[in-house]
Structures are given as C-alpha cells and as structure tokens.
Structure 1
Amino acid sequence: MSDRSYFAPHGGHPPQTQVMTDRAVFTDAYAVIPRGTMMDIVTSAFPFWDKTRAWILARPLTGFAETFSQYIMEVAPGGGSDTPEPDHRVQSVLFVTEGSVEVTLDGATHTLSEGGYAYLPAGERWSLRNTGSAPASFHWIRKRYEDVEGLDRPDPLFLNEADIAPNVMPDTNGAWATTRFVDPADLRHDMHVTIVTFEPGGCIPFAETHVMEHGLYVLEGKAVYRLNADWVEVEAGDFMWLRAFCPQACYAGGPGRFRYLLYKDVNRHPRMDL
C-alpha cells in the first residue's frame, strides 16, 4: 500500500482573502469539479446515516450525468448506516480512500481499508460502519441495474487494489495500465469501476470518442486532460464528468504518476425509449 496514494477531501472554508477564480467548468459535454470546491458549505446529509456527510459529485440530471451518481462519503468514528441504500433497484460500488469501514452483507462483515473495493448487487441489504478511531472516506457509486433475461445478477465482491495486478495497455511499455476489479467478459455487469494509471510521460494518444459515459476522480498526481475541444489541467482530488461521445485524451507530464478512479456504463444495448 505504501506505493499508492488516494486523495480525500477534508472540507473547511476558504478565507475571505482567497480569490474566487478557480478551475470549475460545467458544459453540455463535460464538467470539471476541482477539489477546492469541496468545502463544508456544499456537503449533503442523507436519511439514516449517522455522523456522516457527503460531497455529491454527479447525479442524474438533464444535461449532466445520465446513468450514475457518485458521492464522496466522510464517516466519523462510530458513524455509518444500517439502511444505506433507499432503492432496491440500485447497485453500488464502494472504494475507500482514507481510513477503513466495515461492510456487512448476508451476515458476513468485511473490512475495507484504503484501496478497498466492494461491489454490492441491487436488491441486497447491507450496512456500513466506521468502527475505527479516525474518520473514513470512500467513494459511493450508484447505478440502477439493468436486468437482462437469461443473465443472473452479479455476485458481491470485496477486494483491494493492492491484490490486483494492473493490465498494461498494448504498445505502451507500461506507461498506461488499468486495474480491473471485474472480469470484462462477465456480461452480468452493466458498469465497470476501474483505476487507470499513467506513468510520467504516459498518454492517451488519440481523442477517444465512445458511447460510455464517464466519471473520473483523480486519486493521485496531475495531468492535462482533453475534454471535448478543451485541454484542462487536473490534479489529485478533482472530478471530471464526460458525456457519452465526448472526445477525451490525456497527457501525464509528471513529475509523479497520474491515477484516477473511472466509472463507465457497459454491456447493454442503448435504450430506445428516451
């Protein structure tokens, strides 16, 4: 774990002497929510969550995210929820960036420390508690599951990034790799949450343009990212939303690695009732 870094916001409030200019951008094709916007004043609270606050990074909204919501959850010691998910149609991925939490599912309790990942299928009852002495921070990605006749729903997963070997992209000499928590050939899954790593100098050398919607949270480092027709500078703690078909590319100029948590919708026909 010592060679991995996971940025987590801690809130606060900017001083009156701070200039207002920042890197926040919201367009029809993409959005950039810099880490400096994640202050105390913009947190949310949820029913049946104790000693917990959240920064909502994305939610289904006209002209914004269509397939998912994503939160950064901050849970104080002793906090959590026995009934966290209000919608039985929704599946979840949790990814821990600071501290540790305990997730209970089907009577079994699993400890997720930094780098910990959980996939929680739709319709399952689960609970989460911070039993430690320090605050815990994790990403909570939610998506309504799209059932397919003839396919079972996926099984729960409790994993850690440290135990998974990254898949190196072909012809990159190790400069670009993806850590996959789910087998891409498993069509039961209709979303993937992965970690993408670029070594200094690594890049996406073309403008990717595809049907998958993206949420990208920068875990570590900095880079310039191509979003539609613009190049923007991003750093650890920033969040990006990319609409389906929004062109994207990346250049990780260094000095350290550039890593992000990536959401995308996969393995389903496009809906025809919109």
Structure 2
Amino acid sequence: MTYAFPPGGLPDQSVRPEGTAVFTPAYAVLPAVTQRDIVTSFLPGWTGTRAWILARPLSGFAETFAQYAVEIAPGGGSDAPEPDSMAQTVILVASGALRLTIKGQGHDMTPGGYAYIPPGADWTLRNSGDAACQLHLVRKRYAPAPGIDAPDAFVTSDHAVAPTPMPDCNGVWSTTRFVDPADLRHDMHVNIVTFQPGGRIPFAETHVMEHGLYVLQGTADYLLNTDWVPVGPGDFMWLRAFCPQACIATGTEPFRYLLYKDVNRHPVL
C-alpha cells in the first residue's frame, strides 16, 4: 500500500504551463502537479508545518468540509491544532512518524495510521521522527442531532481494518470503512475506496453527498458530471452535491482513494 502526497517543489523554467486542472460549477480537479510549494499555507498555532488546503466550504459549491495535506518537519506540530470547538477531524498518515495525543492518551502513528477526533476534544500532534511527517486531514463542523451523543475518539490503521467488498462485483471494488455506517453519531465518513485493475463503478452515482477524493495509489478514468478525466496518485477531486460520478480503474495496480462524504443528517432548511 502506498499513500500519495503533494510533490511540492517547483517545475523548472523549461516546463510549459498548460495543465489539466479543472474548476467547473459541478466539480474541480487539482492534479498533483499543481500542489507545489508556492500554494502552501502556514497554520496559526502550528510550528514547523506547511499545508496544502485542497478544499474549503465555498458558497454555491461544496459547503460542508475542508481538506488539507499537511507536512510537519521533525519536532514540529501543535499543542492547539483546532481553532473551532465544534470541528471534528480525521487524520490519515501518508509518511513518517506522528505522535497524536487525545485527552491525554498518546498514540504512535505510522503510514496508514487513521484517527478520528470528535468536536471539543483536547488533542495535540507532533512529528516524532527524523524525517518529515506527511498526513491527510479532513475537518467538518459537527451537526448535533436530538438524542444522539457525539462520537468517541478512536485511532486505528488502514492495515487493521478489513475492506468490505461491494455487492455483485466479484471483489474488484471494496471500501475500507473506519466507522459503522449505521452509527448515527457520525455525520461524516472518511473511507478508503479500492478498485482492482479493471474494476469500476458501473453507474453514474448522483447523490446529495459532497465528496473530496484524494488518489492515494494507482490510476483510473473518472467520470465527473459529463467528462471523463484520467487521474493518478496525488490528484484531488472535489465534487459538489448531485455531481454524477463513476470510474474505471486502469493500470496494473489497485486504484485507491481517500473519500470524504457527509451523511446521516436531515438537510438544513
């Protein structure tokens, strides 16, 4: 298993600037080649850290979440990483070593490590290794529901959770679900979706959930609205509600992506 991350750096002056980035009313594609040093931000309360902010709530587009790729230098991190007391966070470690502490309990995380941090939790994180720690981070403001408690924090790993095969697909399409879909405490899911070469979504999904999709490994042709777009490691897709979508995995290795979606709540009227 591999976990792609922005390449950083800067192409040399011989490279022509035409690219494959797309922003439409229905979807956006940020290819890995666009995720360079000059589009990073520093974060208040974090040290030795830079972040690619790949998605943020945007009126008239996708409005529920923010998604980052975060790179932390050795010894860097934060003792106050979250400025919004109602925000919940998911972390997936792409490379390096991370020491995550939630409510006083420490967790050592390595590539594939996954954590869910509920709103209002006291948490810190620190690069505990000798090389840069790279991680994917998704934030969403929690939507309380009557009679339902907020979720508990947990830390696990991509390697520790068995993928669930999707029905009627002979095992070529599976989803690693870190949260039980029937657990109504959770109002977002951040899963890893895997297609074996040739596997596909066999219809154009069209639904209310917004998506962030970060390609972790492999290649595919992805249907976005009416356009087929080739994607590969490090490419990010950002979909508003009801954007039709499907994919066909290409190449010789599994096609895997980190998938955000909002779930389990009435629409706000």
Partner of 1:217: 214
The runs of at least 4 aligned residues of structure 1 exceeding 4 Å deviation read none
Q: From 133, 137, 153, give the equivalent of 1:136.
A: 133
Q: Matches of 2:149 and 2:184 in 1, distance apart?
A: 10
Q: From 87, 99, 103, give the equivalent of 2:100.
A: 103
Partner of 2:205: 208
Write out per-residue CA displacement over residues 83-140 of structure 1, whole angstroms, 9 at most, x where no aligned residue: 0000001000011111121111111111111001100000111000001101011011
Question: Is 1:157 the equivalent of 2:154?
Answer: yes
Shift of 1:171: 1.1
Note the 1:37-76 alignment, pairs <5 A. 37-76=34-73
Partner of 1:270: 267
Question: Is 1:22 the equivalent of 2:12?
Answer: no
Shift of 1:15: 0.7
Shift of 1:10: 3.6
Shift of 1:51: 0.4
Q: Matches of 1:63 and 1:50 in 2, distance apart?
A: 33
Shift of 1:63: 3.4
Q: Is contact 2:7-2:33 (8 Å) kept?
A: no
Q: Tell me the secondary structure at the aligned position of residue 41 of structure 1.
A: helix
Q: Tell me the secondary structure at the aligned position of residue 33 of structure 2.
A: helix
TM-score by length of 2: 0.99
Q: Tell me the secondary structure at the aligned position of residue 65 of structure 1.
A: coil
Note the 1:233-244 alignment, pairs <5 A. 233-244=230-241
Give unpaired runs (5+ residues) of structure 2: none
Q: Cα RMSD over matched residues?
A: 0.7
Write out per-residue CA displacement over residues 34-59 of structure 1, whole angstroms, 9 at most, x where no aligned residue: 00011110000111100000000000
Write out per-residue CA displacement over residues 150-178 of structure 1, whole angstroms, 9 at most, x where no aligned residue: 00100001000101110001111110000
Letter in 2 for 1:238: D
Q: Matches of 1:34 and 1:89 in 2, distance apart?
A: 31
Q: Matches of 2:129 and 2:64 in 1, distance apart?
A: 33
Shift of 1:65: 2.4
Question: Is 1:255 the equivalent of 2:252?
Answer: yes
Partner of 1:172: 169
User: % of aligned pairs identical?
Assistant: 62
Q: Is contact 2:7-2:32 (8 Å) kept?
A: no
Shift of 1:261: 0.2
Q: Matches of 2:96 and 2:72 in 1, distance apart?
A: 9
Q: Matches of 2:18 and 2:254 in 1, distance apart?
A: 27
Q: Is contact 2:76-2:126 (8 Å) kept?
A: yes
- Figure out how many residues of one structure are paired with residues of the other and give that number: 269
Q: Matches of 1:136 and 1:193 in 2, distance apart?
A: 20
Give unpaired runs (5+ residues) of structure 1: none
